Structure 1
Amino acid sequence: MTSSRMALRVGVIGTGGIAGAHATAIRELGGSVELVAVADIDAARAAAFAADHGGATVFASADDLLAHAGADVVCICTPPQTHAPLAIAAMRAGVTALVEKPTALSLAELDEIARVEEETGTQTLTVFQHRFGAASLRLRELVTSGALGRPLVAACETLWFRPAAYFEVPWRGRWDVEGGGPTMGHGIHQFDLLLAVLGPWSEVTAVAERQLRPTDTEDVSAALVRFDNGAIATVINSLVSPKETSRLRIDFENASVEVEHLYGHTNADWTFTPAPGHEHLAERWNTDLPDDGISGHRHQIAAIADAIAAGKRPDVDIVDARRTLEFAAATYASAFRRTPIAAGDISGDDPFMTSMSGGIVPWAPVKAVPVAS
């Protein structure tokens, strides 16, 4: 954004841990984006957050912020079960919502967001910041141009470690509040990038288990995925892996491209290996690749600001967000039903439309059925 353009006015709802990443990103973008308002159910925490991040106006509630802050965009940084209601409230107030993942707890909630978006003409966007790093943008550019040839096989791994104490936070590890385990709340960033590169998926065959942690949800899932373009991928999500890593590798006809990092990638985390006879692609990969630091909220918020200033629809839009959320739902449905799930299979009154658990979690306690006397 240019300095002559008015700054994008941003509010933050929810001032817990992830909100700091939003505020830091806004500060790093200088005068092009301005944090103007914050709200939290904990008034003292909201006031401290505002003081730490430039003195934004503190509002007593999300509704007050949406009504009176004059924000262009509101970052929703609250626990997952509040995402859909707050996004809908923002759109009805004429404010673009930027929602932390997951956008909603279910496909039904996401479809309601889409309906309100169509009704109001105001967008809900989802934070999938790994799409916006320089190297990931370069990869998508090369894929779109056809330079890499057809994608053939891929591996997507989110192997993280969360101790039992992590789940002492009341909303973690619960289907009704968090929506799922690492498939919904952790690996979703990495497989969203996979989907952004490879496009529509056609079928998922998966397993999900509670291996170790004291949760209602899974702590491990694994999926075998077919894509419309013929590519085949494996996707693994874990919260019980002491050696932590996030890895995405895609093998195309003309090159292998791989990134390995933990919570954000830089250009140095990527490896580009051309196939014999296609060595020239390495130069195309490296030419004028900007060193823009670690992939993070700053890149996505900057892209949103630029798009809004240009009168364009920013990413990641509701269509892309639904494809990613449907992939998560299909992973659970396949795991718990023990059958492949095709894109579009989950619809209508399917229980996986309204809950990622589908009401059939294998390790859930069985409710006693009353016996007539």
Structure 2
Amino acid sequence: MRRAAIVGTGAIAAAHAEALRAAGDRVELVAVVDVDADRASAFAKEWGVPRTHATSSALLAAEELDFVHVCTPPRHHVPIALECLAANVHVLVEKPPALSLSEVDALIAAERASAGRVATVFQHRFGPAAIRLRRLVAEGVLGRSFVAKCDTLWYRGDAYFDVPWRGTWESEGGGPTMGHGIHQFDLLLSVLGPWQEIRAVAVRQARDVQTEDVSMALVTFADGTVASVVNSLLSPRETSELRFDFERATVEVEHLYGYTDAHWTVTPAPGHEDVVPRWREEQSGIVSGHRCQVAAFLDALDEGSAPPVSLEDTRTTMEFVAALYASAFTGTVVKAGQIGPDSPFYASMEGIGAPWANTR
């Protein structure tokens, strides 16, 4: 049986604990960590966890662990992951996994020297419908990809940002691009493959924050697909939508925080009605979420392979984020591979600074 721990017992930690419980006798949650001792104790009592610790350092010194779930505020993700790697312990880190591309590269370097591996929580990759879609694309069933769109239109009122670490570059690394829409466009990238260039805007419309509250991007992919990506925290009718227009069918999903097969539709192009039965060959009521990714994570450990989503996969998505901000703040087209150590957007997603930085 694998031995796991959770660092950070805020709201998202419950999804991790539930996913571990759903894994049954494959894994045991042996300890949790939180700087708030009362919160850690309450969480441990609720989930039947035998021990609590005040710090990740104390956890790693006291426990024999196979992997650690990092569920802290974003600015702590990389320091804790580096501690785990130094102890040769695997890491499953919540999004955003890091605050910058330079931090991702620091993790990649540390992983090379460790027996541990780092995986990022991008759970929407692991719903049965997304897995099926990627397979049908790979098999050529849907034909060429032409057009796509990815909308994360959510609502977060002023009170949401009363939490001190929200809405700042230093703590979150960005706004809805970094912390909310990242789930949807990571799924987009996992289906469409390498992106080539981005034209973007990012604005602060309504919330009293350092970061943007809306961003939009036009993206060209290596295979020629063109896509739009919208990330908003100002949208009262909340939705998460993806649409893929292939040569032989349109494939769409609309959900909010997790999907089942019921949220997906497939519309065949004239003369390609045979695509629909191919899609329906496998039907599932499983909800995309942490359960699916934790199960895949455990499968990889059992097989001795790298857990999904690898740091290489993560870097592609994080480079997309950095390029979006770079394009928005410089008013230029940004190409894949353009943001290196000499770019101000490599060490910080804020880069040269948001246009509104001095108007708060």
TM-score by length of 1: 0.95
Comparing 67-76 with 258-267, greater Cα deviation is found at 67-76
Q: CA deviation at 1:150?
A: 1.0
- Counterpart position of 1:320: 313
Q: CA RMSD in A?
A: 1.2
Q: Over residues 7-62 of structure 1, what are the superposed CA-to-partner deviations in whole Å (9 max), with x where a residue is unaligned? A: 22211000011001100111122212221111111111111111100133212211
Matches within 5 A, 1:185-204: 185-204=179-198
SS in 2 for 1:63: helix
SS in 2 for 1:120: coil
Cα distance in 2 between the residues matched to 1:93 and 1:46: 23
Q: CA deviation at 1:121?
A: 3.5
1:336 corresponds, among 329, 342, 346, to: 329
SS in 2 for 1:177: helix
- Counterpart position of 1:156: 150
Q: Over residues 58-117 of structure 1, what are the superposed CA-to-partner deviations in whole Å (9 max), with x where a residue is unaligned? A: 122111212222121100000111111111111111111111001100000110000000
Q: Over residues 173-228 of structure 1, what are the superposed CA-to-partner deviations in whole Å (9 max), with x where a residue is unaligned? A: 00011000000000000000000000110000000000001100000000000000
Q: Over residues 273-295 of structure 1, what are the superposed CA-to-partner deviations in whole Å (9 max), with x where a residue is unaligned? A: 12122211111111123322x11
SS in 2 for 1:276: coil
* 1:171 partnered with 2:189: no
1:279 corresponds, among 259, 273, 282, to: 273
Do the aligned partners of 2:262 and 2:285 also contact (CA within 8 Å) in 1? no
Cα distance in 2 between the residues matched to 1:94 and 1:83: 16
- Identical pairs, percent: 56
Cα distance in 1 between the residues matched to 2:146 and 2:280: 23
SS in 1 for 2:172: coil
* 1:15 partnered with 2:5: no
SS in 2 for 1:114: helix
Aligned pair in 2 of structure 1 residues 366, 167: CA closer, same or farther (>3 Å)? closer
- Counterpart position of 1:269: 263
Q: CA deviation at 1:316?
A: 0.3
* 1:111 partnered with 2:105: yes
- Counterpart position of 2:249: 255
Do the aligned partners of 2:202 and 2:212 also contact (CA within 8 Å) in 1? yes
- Counterpart position of 2:90: 96
SS in 2 for 1:176: helix
SS in 2 for 1:225: strand
- Counterpart position of 2:51: 57
* 1:182 partnered with 2:176: yes
- Counterpart position of 1:359: 352
Please tell me the residue identity of whatever aligns with 1:42: D
Please tell me the residue identity of whatever aligns with 2:192: L
* 1:138 partnered with 2:109: no
Do the aligned partners of 2:123 and 2:293 also contact (CA within 8 Å) in 1? yes
* 1:212 partnered with 2:206: yes
Comparing 65-74 with 242-251, greater Cα deviation is found at 65-74
Cα distance in 2 between the residues matched to 1:55 and 1:75: 14
Moved over 4 A (4+): none
1:306 corresponds, among 294, 299, 311, to: 299
Please tell me the residue identity of whatever aligns with 1:356: M
SS in 1 for 2:106: helix
Please tell me the residue identity of whatever aligns with 1:222: M
SS in 1 for 2:169: coil
* 1:233 partnered with 2:212: no
Please tell me the residue identity of whatever aligns with 2:189: L
Number of paired residues?
Answer: 360
Q: CA deviation at 1:366?
A: 7.5
- Counterpart position of 1:73: 67
TM-score by length of 2: 0.98
Aligned pair in 2 of structure 1 residues 11, 271: CA closer, same or farther (>3 Å)? same
Matches within 5 A, 1:280-299: 280-292=274-286, 294-299=287-292
Cα distance in 1 between the residues matched to 2:99 and 2:28: 30
Cα distance in 1 between the residues matched to 2:103 and 2:303: 30
